[in-house]
Structure 1
């Protein structure tokens, strides 16, 4: 669900210290994660 996705993203942001989804997306691409976006 969207809420779960947002929680997942927020948790990763907290753990990685990223300041934005864009920054997270770059790291995700580099590390091979496939993170769903709902917006």
Structure 2
């Protein structure tokens, strides 16, 4: 899981979204959503 968070962070750095755009991340279940919210 920690490797996935690191990868997500690197992807966000490589292709950042605009200042006024909302970033949406789709996860498979509520447990993963909770884990990402803690990070």
Structure having the higher helix fraction is 1
TM tier, smaller: 0.3 to 0.5
Question: What TM-score, normalized by structure 1, do the two folds share?
Answer: 0.43
